[in-house]
Homo-oligomer: A and B are copies of this chain.
Amino acid sequence: MRATTIHGPRDIRFGEAKDPVIKRPTQAVVKVTAGCICGSDLWPYRGENPIREGATIGHECVGVVEEVGGEVSVFKPGDFVIVPFCHSDNTCAHCRAGVQSACPQGGMTTSGQSEYAVVNQADGSLVATDGHPDDALLPSLLALSDVMPTGWHAAVAAGVQPGGTVVVVGDGAVGLCGVLAASVMGAERVIAMSRHEPRQQIAREFGATDVVAERGEEGEALVMQMTDGVGADAVLECVGNGPAMSTAFAVARPGATVGFVGVPHGVEPPVSTMFSKNVGLRGGVAPVRRYLPELLELVTSGRIDPGRVFDLTLPLEEVAEGYLAMDERRAVKVMLRP
């Protein structure tokens, strides 16, 4: 098949790779209809994560089941499916507790920016749509493989409640989906911390009632002022670095929880502040499969349109340009079509 591989910092290639093979009877091969680039793919791209030279890259996709292993009984070739980036048997203790991202039988998609992807535990991981969707729905369905459930997880972890005030730190695609999640969950006020005008626009479409463009102490002071010195009931930290985490804790009211979903890089939770203010920290790798049924219903009913985060679509072979566009912040999130 043709696949995207990474060979070093800023060295993304598209070309021939090994065809996918079913190695375990619980696996399935999915022919990718659409894939995309994740903010977390930029860590190795920028050389900030270790790189295995020549490895396939990409963990978000939707597509059509091509082949299934002998123990796959729920899905059959031809089914259109959403592929959660983290796989799960959906039967073990962790899955039953709603933490499918901790399933020991899981693993994750490793060739989402390719023509085919292999899914472990297909029966427990995949979710099928009702028939094959229109192209217009593709972006929002694709968003369900990672970015939207991740924003949703931040809101769940932070304990967003109807009527509350929520601050979202980070205006990447995950942060924007966090805004959407908080809004759908009934937050009365959603303050998006975003300094990029096109992203502010999407944030407002997703339900942000306020936008704070300032960063650091200045931005924190503004949020405190907007909340009468009290702080936010829930804070979604959707970046994963130290300054973002620091801002998240600064604007959280006592008793609040910071929901974090950005892979931590150089983050040291301020444990003394957490203790004195009674502000919690909770989150992690999103259990996508847990949220998929509910989110799919929201998408197909037209209630949410998370696909709005894709502001650039490229043919799969131009994937390298997609990385560059995201790295240079010319695009929020790039969809790739084989």
User: CB < 8 Å: which of B93, B255, B283 contacts A275?
Assistant: B283
Please determine whether B278 and A287 come into contact, CB atoms closer than 8 angstroms: yes
Instruction: Report which of B101, B230, B280 forms a contact with A282, defined as CB distance below 8 A.
Output: B280
Q: Is the CB of B283 within 8 A of A260?
A: no
- Asked if A98 and B255 sit within 8 Å, CB to CB, the answer is yes
Which A residues from 237 to 295 make CB contacts under 8 A with B? Answer: 253-255, 257, 260, 263-264, 267-269, 271-272, 274-285, 287
Contact partner of A230 (CB less than 8 A), chosen from B93, B228, B267, B284, is B93
Residue A97 at the chain B interface, CB threshold 8 Å: yes
A272: chain B residues at CB < 8 Å are: 264
| Distance in angstroms between the alpha carbons of A1 and B260 in the assembled complex | 51
**A99 CB within 8 Å of chain B:** yes
The residue on B at minimum CB distance from A233 is B97
Most buried by B among A94, A228, A275: A275
Determine if A274 and B284 form an interchain contact, defined as CB atoms under 8 angstroms apart: yes
Asked if A271 and B275 sit within 8 Å, CB to CB, the answer is no
CB contact between A278 and one of B99, B257, B278 (< 8 Å): that residue: B99
- Assess whether A102 is interfacial by the CB under 8 Å rule: yes
Whole-angstrom distance between the alpha carbons of A167 and B278 in the complex?
21
Pair B271/A268 contact, Cβ less than 8 Å: yes
Q: How far is the CA of A93 from the CA of B230 in the complex (A)?
A: 7
Q: Is the CB of B157 within 8 A of A254?
A: no
Please state if B268 and A102 are interface contacts (CB–CB under 8 Å): no
User: A284 vs B264: C-alpha distance in the bound complex, in angstroms?
Assistant: 23
**Distance, CA A93 to CA B272, complexed state (A):** 22
Shortest C-beta distance, A50 to chain B (Å), equals 14
CA distance A276 to B285 in the complex (A): 6
Within 8 A of B (CB), among A71-100: 93-94, 97-99
> Are A257 and B280 CB-contacts (below 8 A) given A94-B230, A230-B93?
yes
Partner of A263, one of B264, B275, B281, B283: B275
Most chain B C-beta atoms within 10 Å of own C-beta, residue among A255, A274, A277: A255
List which A5-24 residues lie within 8 A (CB) of chain B: none
Given A99-B254, A254-B94, CB of A280 within 8 Å of CB of B277:
no
Q: Which of B99, B157, B263, B280 contacts A157 (CB 8 A)?
A: B280
Q: Can you sample 5 A-B contacts with CB below 8 Å?
A: A257-B280, A260-B275, A268-B271, A274-B283, A280-B280
Q: Which 4 A-B pairs have the closest CB atoms?
A: A280-B282, A102-B254, A278-B284, A99-B255
**Sample of 4 further A-B pairs with CB below 8 A, known A263-B275, A268-B268:** A264-B275, A269-B274, A269-B281, A274-B284
